[in-house]
Amino acid sequence: MIRVHDVVRGSSDVPGDVALPSPGGSPAELRSAARSLECEAARARSTTTVGGTLGSRLGAVWTGAAATAARSEADELGRRSRGVVDALTTTARSLLSYAAALDHAVGRTRALQRQWDALDAEHALAARRLVGATDPTGVVRVLGLERAHVERAAARARLSRCHAGVLDELRAVAKRCAHVVAGVTDATLPSTAPATPANVRDAVTGSLWFADGVVSARASRTAALDDAALVRRALQAVEAGDIGGWDRRADDVAIAQIVHQVRDHADDPVYAQTLLTELGGDGLSRLLMGAGVAGGSTTGAHVDTVRNLLGAFGSLVVTGARHTVPVGTDPRTRAQLASGAALLADDLVAGAARVHADASGRDGATGAWLLGQLLSGARATGDDRRLPARLVRRAAAAAAAAEIAETRDADLELRHGTTLRPDAEAAFASWFDDAAGTGDALHVLLSEVGDHPAEQAAVLAEPLPGSSSAGGALANARGDRLTLGEHLVRRWITLEATGIESHPDLRLATDGDLQRLLPSISCATTADAAETRARVMLELSRSSSLAMAEASTTRLYTRATAPVEGLVVEWFSAMRANVDRALVVPSFGRRTGYAAETGVGLQPALDADELSGVIAALTIDTGMGLHAKDPGAGYVRLVESEIAWAERSVAHGRDVAVDVARLGFLDQSASAALVAVAHRQDELNRAALQGAAEAKNVIEEIRKGGPVGLMSTAQTYVTAGTSRTAGDDLVITLVRSNVELAQTERDDARHAALVARIEAFTGRRPSGVRASMETGAGRARAVPAADALRAARDAEIRAAWEAYRDSAVHRCSTRARVVIAEGSTTTGWESRRPGLRPRPPRASDEQSPPVPPSKATLGTGREAE
Partner 1 sequence: MTRYVLDTDGVTRARLTLADDPAQLRECASVVAATTAAAMSAVGPEGSYVHTALERFRMVHCRALDAVADAASALGDRLDQSTVEARSVELFVTTALAEAATELPAGMSGSSDAGSP
- Residues 195 to 254: which contact partner 1 by CB under 8 A? 195, 197, 200-201, 203-205, 208, 210-211, 213-215
**Position among 14, 19, 50, 337 found at the interface with partner 1 (CB under 8 A):** 50
**Residues in region 777-816 near partner 1 by CB under 8 A:** none
Burial 60-80 (b: 16+ CB within 10 A, else e): eeeeeeeeeebbebbeebbeb
Least distance (Å) between residue 198 CB and partner 1: 9
Neighbour-count burial for 34-51, b at 16+ CB within 10 Å, e otherwise? beebbeebeebbeeebbe
Can you spell out the DSSP letters for 552-605?
A: HHHHHHHHH-HHHHHHHHHHHHHTHHHHHHHHHSTTHHHHH-SEEEETTEEEE-
Integer CA distances (angstroms), 498 to 485, 507, 555, 646, 748, in order: 20, 12, 12, 42, 35
In whole angstroms, the minimum distance from the beta carbon of 346 to partner 1 comes to 22
Residue 88 binding partner 1, by CB under 8 A: yes
CB burial class (10 A; 0-12, 13-18, 19+) of residue 138? exposed
Give the residue among 266, 445, 424 at the shortest CA–CA distance from 370: 445
**DSSP code per residue over 782-846:** P---HHHHHHHHHHHHHHHHHHHHHHHHHHHHTT-HHHHHHHHHH--GGGSPTTPPPPPP-GGGG
Q: Minimum distance from CB of 530 to partner 1 (Å)?
A: 22
Binding residues with partner 1: total (CB under 8 A)? 80
Rounded least distance, CB 329 to partner 1, Å: 10
Q: Give dist(CA 179, CA 191) in Å, integer.
A: 12
Q: Is 506 in the site for partner 1 (CB under 8 A)?
A: no
From 583, 582, 599, 600, select the one nearest 591 (Cα to Cα). Answer: 582
Supply the minimum distance, in Å, between the C-beta of residue 180 and partner 1: 8
When asked if residue 484 is in the footprint of partner 1 (CB under 8 A), the reply is: no
Q: Minimum distance between the CB of residue 374 and partner 1, rounded to whole angstroms?
A: 32
Tell whether residue 2 is a contact of partner 1 (CB under 8 A): no
Binding-site member from 14, 19, 102, 262 for partner 1 (CB under 8 A) = 102
Per CB under 8 A, 270 contacts partner 1? no
Q: Does 189 bind partner 1 (CB under 8 A)?
A: yes
CB of 206 to partner 1, least distance (A): 9
How many angstroms separate the first and last alpha carbons of the chain? 131
CA angle 24, 25, 31 (to 5 degrees): 155
Residue whose CB is less far from partner 1, 52 or 377: 52
Considering the rule CB under 8 A, would residue 62 count as an interface residue with partner 1? yes
**In the stretch 147-186, what mask flags binding to partner 1 with x, by CB under 8 A?**
--------------------x--xx--xx-xxx-xx-xx-
Shortest Cβ 528–partner 1 spacing (Å): 19
Residue 79 binding partner 1, by CB under 8 A: no
**Shortest Å, Cβ 213 to partner 1:** 7
Which range in 192-200, 340-348, 556-564, 781-789 contacts partner 1 by CB under 8 A?
A: 192-200
Nearer Cβ to partner 1 (332/815): 332
User: Quick check: 220 and 265 in contact, CB under 8 A?
Assistant: yes
As measured in angstroms, the least distance from the Cβ of 61 to partner 1 is 3
Q: Which stretch binds partner 1 (CB under 8 A): 3-11, 193-201, 432-440, 496-504?
A: 193-201
- 847 DSSP 8-state letter: G
**DSSP labels, 170-193:** HHHHHHHHHHHHHHHHHHHS-TTS
What value, to the nearest 5°, has the Cα angle with vertex 365 and ends 447 and 371? 30
- Asked whether 605 and 533 are in contact (CB, 8 A), the reply is no
Q: Which of 10, 11, 60, 137 binds partner 1 (CB under 8 A)?
A: 60
Calculate the CA 432 to chain-centre distance.
Answer: 18
Q: Which is nearer to partner 1, 78 or 613 (CB)?
A: 78
Q: Is 355 helix (H, G, I), strand (E, B) or coil?
A: strand
Q: CA–CA separation, 800 vs 854, rounded Å?
A: 12
Q: Is 8 in the site for partner 1 (CB under 8 A)?
A: no
Largest CA-CA distance found in the chain, in angstroms, rounded: 198
Q: Candidates 20-28, 252-260, 319-327, 812-820: pick the segment binding partner 1 (CB under 8 A).
A: 20-28
Report the residue number, 40 or 480, with the smaller CB distance to partner 1: 40
For residue 122, how many C-alpha atoms fall within 13 Å in the half-sphere facing its CB?
Answer: 15
Q: Binding to partner 1 by residue 58, rule CB under 8 A?
A: yes
Residue of 87, 238, 638, 773 that binds partner 1 (CB under 8 A)? 87
Residue of 337, 344, 320 lying closest to 394 (CA atoms): 344
* 43 is an interface residue for partner 1 by CB under 8 A: yes
- Residue 188 sits in the site that holds partner 1 (CB under 8 A): yes
Output the CA angle 577-581-587, nearest 5 degrees. Answer: 140
Q: How far is the CB of 84 from partner 1 (least distance, A)?
A: 5
The answer to whether residue 40 forms part of the interface with partner 1 (CB under 8 A) is yes
Residue 26 is a binding residue for partner 1 (CB under 8 A): yes
Question: Minimum Å distance from CB 28 to partner 1?
Answer: 8
- Closest to partner 1 by CB, 60 vs 412, is 60
Residue 68 near partner 1 by CB under 8 A: no
Nearer to partner 1, 331 or 705 (CB): 331
Spatial separation of the C-alpha atoms in residues 660 and 583, rounded to whole Å: 12
Task: Tell me how far, at minimum, the Cβ of 103 lies from partner 1, in Å.
Answer: 12
Closer residue to partner 1, CB minimum distance, 189 or 426: 189
Task: Assess 488 for contact with partner 1 (CB under 8 A).
Answer: no
Q: Are 531 and 461 in contact (CB under 8 A)?
A: yes
Among the listed residues 1, 17, 47, 162, the single contact to partner 1 using CB under 8 A: 47
User: Per CB under 8 A, which of residues 272..331 are in contact with partner 1?
Assistant: 330-331
Rounded Cα gap, residues 7 and 32, in angstroms: 38
- Could you say whether residue 107 binds partner 1 (CB under 8 A)? no
